[in-house]
Amino acid sequence: MTHDTLACRSCGDTNLAPVLFLGKTPLADRLLTESMLNEPEPLFPLTLHFCAQCGLVQIAECVAPEQLFCEDYPYYSSFSAALLKHSRDNVEELIEQHHLNEKSLAVELASNDGYLLKNFVERGIPVLGIDPAEGPAQAARDAGVETLCTFFTEAFATELVAQGRQADVIIGNNVLAHVPDLNGFVAGIRILLKEDGVAVIEVPYLKDLIDHCEFDTIYHEHLCYFSVTALRSLFARHDLSLNDVRRLPIHGGSLRLYVGHKAKVSPAVEVLLDEERAAGVNELRFYEDFAHRVERIGESLLELLMGLKAEGKRIAAYGAAAKGATLINYVGIGTGLIDFVVDRNTHKQGRFMPGQHIPILPCEALVSERPDYCLLLAWNFADEIMNQQAEYLDGGGRFIVPVPTPRIIHPSVAKVD
């Protein structure tokens, strides 16, 4: 079920300007089983809007979270070594900087399979994971991470505090964009966070999305797309201070936010706010050519793939990623072009990509089937994946990166920009 939101999810303003329409698309993480292939597949409009009042970019559609993050939600964070290292480094820095110990409590919102909290557990620091997807939540418990399978809300935060559980550190990576009640979620953080605690939140960075045309990261799970300007206004509304911010390369460019009850604002916040003002991120004109650039990428990628196919080449894809579903459905890349998708996530293998019904196989298929080309749907992990697939490359295979410019990557290129 979906309903259009005609008011800004953060400030409530109704003056939302349309920026991009990606058509009617299937749910990006709703990977199909064989038996589902012949059933009607729900499609939902996907339209990006800009709020001139607070700067928040957001989609109008709101698919019920219970439909998005249901029991067989297939995303497990632990299938990326790069993400595991990124998370471990974050935890070690937090333990040191905030002197966390056996008397502390670290809470992660959208804790998935325990990929991050396990690092606290190994150091003897009490944790609590909160995640609505039963599969990853059970995997976390199996890994020794206490996890409650529920959505985090203001009411739930109040319940936890009533039980005497307040957090010294709250971590929320790639979750803020997913919550329909954005203000309730942030109010919950304020309630759950101790007076001297810190909330450390990672979100994909809107400026990177627009600058590098990462349109495939737009899907129904991602309701909001954040600038520092919009984030500062969101937290301030709930008496929380955006005290520090770091730009990170992960997921095509992200922000790591440090939020607290007390204002101790670092210069880094003002630097990014100035950059956003200079670039016009808070003005509609910044987004005006985005739709045209997206259209050009789609045309150019389709032309490249069809040309290779016309030469008799075989093409596969790597990464049954949610972003991959947006890409193949917006561009129209189906089984006529892509023979199969490979993915390390065993929960995804044996299923089919939403909309295009391309089969998902184990990564070994790249070597056994030896497709001439492989479209990198999980381009945000290009370096990790290309290093891992040296045998495929040594055998003459070549990867195609789709954004910001569709291009064939030659292995001599050390890092994909």
Give CA–CA dist 14/8, Å, rounded: 6
Strand order in the sheet with 224-225: 16-25, 44-51, 57-59, 224-225
Bridging pattern class, strands 224-225 and 127-130: unpaired
Closest distance to ligand DWN from the beta carbon of 53 (Å): 25
Alpha carbons 131 and 141: distance in angstroms, whole number: 11
**Minimum gap (Å) between residue 218 Cβ and ligand DWN:** 11
- Judged by beta carbon, residue 300 or residue 388, the one nearer ligand DWN is 388
> How far apart are alpha carbons 147 and 71 in whole angstroms?
15
Q: How far is 377 from 3, CA to CA, in rounded Å?
A: 29
Q: How far apart are CA 389 and CA 397, in angstroms?
A: 9
123 secondary structure, DSSP code? T
Taking the complex as a whole, the smallest distance from the CB of residue 138 to ligand DWN amounts, in Å, to 18
Contacts of 42 (CB under 8 A, 6+ apart): 26, 27
How many CB atoms are located within 10 Å of the residue 110 CB? 23
Give yes or no for a contact between 268 and 220, defined as CB atoms under 8 angstroms apart.
no
Smaller CB distance to ligand DWN: residue 14 or 387? 387
Helices (H), 58-181: 65-68, 81-97, 117-122, 134-142, 154-162
Whose Cβ is closer to ligand DWN: residue 265's or residue 367's?
367
Binding site for ligand DWN (CB under 6 A): 75, 79-80, 174, 221, 251, 319-323, 343-345, 348, 378, 380-381, 384-385, 388
Question: Phi/psi of residue 245, each to 5°?
Answer: -150, 140
**Which CB sits closer to ligand DWN, 49 or 323?**
323
248 vs 265 by CB, closer to ligand DWN: 248
> At its nearest, how many Å lie between ligand DWN and the CB of residue 120?
20
Radius of gyration of the chain (CA): 21
Q: Which two tokens stand for residue 344?
A: 């390390």
10/174 with CB nearer ligand DWN: 174
- Tell the smallest beta-carbon distance from residue 381 to ligand DWN (Å): 4
Q: Which is nearer to ligand DWN, 283 or 384 (CB)?
A: 384
- Are 194 and 166 contacting, i.e. CB atoms less than 8 angstroms apart? yes
Q: Are 228 and 273 in contact (CB under 8 A)?
A: yes
Q: Closer to ligand DWN at the Cβ: 227 or 380?
A: 380
Nearest distance in Å: CB 59, ligand DWN:
13
C-alpha angle 224-225-231 in degrees, rounded to nearest 5: 90
Give backbone dihedrals phi and psi of 365, rounded to 5 degrees, phi first: -65, -25
Q: Which residue, 62 or 160, has its beta carbon nearer to ligand DWN? A: 62
C-beta of 281 vs 378, nearer to ligand DWN: 378
**What is the closest distance, in whole angstroms, from the C-beta atom of residue 388 to ligand DWN in the complex?**
5
Q: How many CB atoms lie within 10 A of CB 155?
A: 11
**What number of other Cβ atoms are within 10 A of residue 102's Cβ?**
8
Q: Could you tell me the smallest distance in angstroms from the CB atom of residue 362 to ligand DWN?
A: 9
Shortest distance in whole angstroms from residue 346 CB to ligand DWN: 10
Q: How far is the CB of 101 from ligand DWN (least distance, A)?
A: 30
